[in-house]
Structure 1
Amino acid sequence: MDLNKSQDITYSKTLSGLNEEIIRKISEENNEPSWMLEIRIESFKIFRELQLPKWWPDLSLLDLNKICYYANPEDTKDTKNWDEVPEKIRNTFDRLWIPEAEKEMLAWVWAQFDSKVVYHSIKKELEDKWVIFEDMSFAIKKHPDLVKKYFMKAIPINDHKFSALHWAVWNGWTFLYIPKWVKVEEPLQAYFRMNVRAGWQFEHTIIVLEEWAQAHYIEWCSAPKYWDIALHAWCVEVYVWKSASLRYSSVENWSSDTYNLNTKRAIV
């Protein structure tokens, strides 16, 4: 398998371009509470009002009306059983060494393919210590009060045009919460693969370490070479409280036709 080529996957996806109907579709697909839909709609309004940042690189080739903002691989689900991941997707992540990494040294493994989280695994001893590791789309329903406490607190909607766009169409990725005094010795690792042509990814990460907690979080992001312009603009919010320690590592491998416009903030 050539990782520089996209896989032939069947998708359920929206048409190119963005409007309120598509935003409502994303929210509906994730079965979100009304407060999240309200944030999305407000963010979309602000996005349309803001100008492109002058301090970003040349964006003349980026046509936001040609981007597909939601692409969900069909016949997929979030599973803890690697063998249940569809074969083509599994083969891609096999080439990225997920199974080997998980077996040898990881406390937690997470895999997302385009708009869909397809696999996650966490060691039972961490669950017993009340470590929370969830797809963001599930976390807002399972832990709404905790998510609300940190969601959008480090990166405001109107920070810039692409942050507003992110808040309007974000989908998937990670909510990680390490309780007070809990020290995770082994790495927590997440893999993201963008596959669809003329696609986007606006995954969202929230990492919270309470007082005296400790963790090492590693994320790997990659995409094939495209003939069409693609957009990757995710946001990361990190909160590290008194005497806690977080090592945050990001390894990214993008082709020249992918605009990688990220916003990452930490409150310590």
Structure 2
Amino acid sequence: MSNLISNLTSDQNVKQQDTKRILAKKAAEREVLKENRRKERAEKLKERTYVEEFDRGVYDIKNPNTYEIMLKKGLNEEIVREISSIKNEPDWMLEKRLAALKIYHKLKNPNWGPDLSELNMDEIATYIRPKAQMESNWQEVPDEIRRTFELLGIPEAELDYLSGVGAQYDSEVVYHNMKDYLALQGVVYTDFESAVEQYPEIIQEYFGTCLKPNLHRYSALHYAVWSGGSYVYVPEGVHVDIPLQSYFRMNAPGAGQFEHTLIIVEKGGSLHFIEGCSAPRYNTINLHAGGVELFVKEGAKLRYSTIENWSRNMYNLNSKRAIVEKDGVIEWISGSFGSRVSMLYPASILIGEGARSEFTGITFAGAGQTLDTGAQVVHKAPHTYSTVETKSISKGGGKAIYRSLVQVDEGAYGCKSNTDCQSLMLDAQSRGDTIPTIILKNDDVDFGHEAKIGRIDDQAIFYLMSRGLSEEDAKAMIVRGFAEPVAKELPLEYAVEMNELINLELKGAIG
């Protein structure tokens, strides 16, 4: 008997050692694969693809335009019904689409902000399905699409520092996955079409209630033709310690992307959600009009980070809103690069006492760009708090405009709000504007607003050059220091990416 037990123990030890060797081998293979991907991405970034003095490197990858479905360009009821039919949607969703379409046709372009006269919906394809199905295994994603995301570092990011990833290519999500341990805690992270099918009661309750279709013309457009996006649900008391990320990639020229993101963080829960966006440069106009609805329940915390690196032919008309209940916290981290025109003003509606909103953002406008960005906060409950800190950089004749709204309602006594916006212009041709709107409906408010607009200080450049730096390096150091308050709020890997984007912009400006 003792010999039998000894033999069994010996066999178990051998199996454990074999398992350890296999796991170690797989871990080593993953490290080699990650290192090869890093090297390949670094080499790709070295290749010059100049677009209006801006080397976008890996972001300018273009794949052959082969699609399973591409609806005709334009916007009408027939197209909206066809999108709904393709997705096999319930009747209530089609009704919402058609109602939004009517609102779109009634509303006009805003009579303020950037010029949108060249944006013609008759030249935009609102739905394009790639030749791919949604997968939960990267190896099942079609080669050319997978290759694009690999060069952008998405699989590597999932392995290294994310707990879940979604990847959308044109109008459809092609990959979605989340760590098993989060699912065991009741966390839901899936594409939005699956959410409509699997959680219809929840989607009907929340969809279109935070970000309303009648907010403006392009929110109505979004609800008429939305496709793709993400749904996240964090149960009460659950803390998602490692971020989730959705990445939105456009490949087709003359196309629109209209993903919808809906996130619910229940009482006492927490989440960091990261959104990334990019597209190659074409000679035709592309449109991005996504929609984001965030619901932060009592005592919950949600950080929503975005790095948008659209190409210079993009009209980025994204709409984002959050409703924050008692003692809840919403943190917006925003980096806006690229795009021909951006209109982006994330809004926080503070409906519960003690609710808090924090917005930190950076905008970099180069030649031919008009980036009209900012933040909105509405204090609806007493003792609510908000801070807005923005940095904008303009060069080569670019226009960086900060536009904000802070509103304190009648019953929202004891509120505190502080806004600090700074604009840095790198040359005499560039422009930086600050356009704040302040609405105070009671006088029991602690309110502060500070704005600074200026150019790089020649004395600072002279000082750094006297310490051995070249003029170019001195300017670059000043700009990176200017952007540092935003970079420090991002996870390390994303801060590095943001600094990389700033460096690429600066090479065009001062290199």
Match of 2:263 among 207, 232, 238: 207
1:254 to 290, 294, 310: 310
**Residue in structure 2 matched with residue 13 of structure 1 by the alignment:** 70
SS across alignment from 1:198: coil
> Equivalent residues in 2 for 1:1-268 (5 A)?
2-11=58-67, 12-74=69-131, 76-268=132-324
- Percent identity of equivalent pairs: 48
Contact residue 61 and residue 148 of structure 2 kept, 8 A? no
Q: In 2, distance between residues paired with 1:101 and 1:133? A: 17
Structure 1 residue 57: Cα displacement: 1.3
Q: Deviation string for 1:206-250 (max 9, x for gaps)?
A: 011000001110010001111100100111011101111111100
Alpha-carbon distance in 2 for matches of 1:86, 1:149: 35
What runs of 5+ residues in structure 1 fail to find an aligned partner? Answer: none
Please tell me the residue identity of whatever aligns with 2:197: K
Q: What code does the residue aligned with 2:155 have?
A: P
More contact order relative to length (CA 8 Å, sep ≥ 6): 1
Q: Check 1:29–1:56 CA distance in 2 against 1; reply closer, same or farther (3 A cut).
A: farther
How much has 1:48 moved relative to structure 2?
A: 0.7
d(CA) in 1 for partners of 2:221, 2:185: 36
Give distance in 2, aligned partners of 1:122 and 1:256: 33
Between the aligned partners of 2:284 and 2:61, the Cα distance in structure 1 is 13
Deviates more, 1:173-182 or 1:149-158: 149-158
Using the alignment, how far apart are the partners of 1:148 and 1:15 within structure 2?
29
Quote the Cα distance in structure 2 between the aligned partners of 1:10 and 1:225.
Answer: 17
Distance 1:77 1:115 in 2: 12
Q: Describe the superposition over 1:169-227 as per-residue Cα deviations: whole angstroms up to 9, x where unpaired.
A: 00011011101000011011111101111000010000110000011100100011111
Aligned-partner Cα distance in 2 for 1:243–1:79: 35
Cα-to-partner distance string for 1:82-103 (whole Å, 9 max, x where unaligned): 0110111001000111111111
Looking at structure 1, the residues matched to 279 and 247 of structure 2 have their Cα atoms a distance apart, in angstroms, of 11
- Match for 2:315: what amino acid? Y
- In the TM superposition, structure 1's runs of 4+ consecutive aligned residues that sit over 3 Å from their partners are none
In structure 1, C-alpha distance between the alignment counterparts of 2:62 and 2:286, rounded to whole Å: 12
Greater C-alpha radius of gyration: 2
SS at structure 1 position matched to 2:102: helix
Q: 2:245 and 2:87 mapped to 1: Cα distance?
A: 24
The residue type equivalent to 1:154 in the other structure is C
Q: 1 or 2, which has the higher strand percentage?
A: 2
Give the aligned residue type for 2:321: R
Q: Distance in 2 between matches of 1:17 and 1:211?
A: 43
**C-alpha distance in 1, partners of 2:111/2:219?**
14
Q: Using the alignment, how far apart are the partners of 1:99 and 1:137 within structure 2? A: 23
> Gapped runs of 5+ residues in structure 2?
1-43, 45-57, 325-511
Residue-by-residue CA offset, 1:89-120 (whole Å, 9 max, x unaligned): 00100011111111112110110000111001
SS in 1 for 2:114: coil
**Superimposed CA distance per residue, residues 129-162 of structure 1 (whole angstroms, 9 cap, x where no aligned partner):** 1111121111111001111121001111111111
Give the Cα–Cα distance (whole angstroms) in 1 for the partners of residues 253 and 308 of structure 2. 18
> Quick check: which one's helix share is greater?
2
What is the TM-score when the length of structure 2 is the normalising length? 0.51
Q: Which string of whole-angstrom CA distances, capped at 9 and with x for unpartnered residues, describes residues 41-81 of structure 1?
A: 1111111111111234111221111000110012x111111
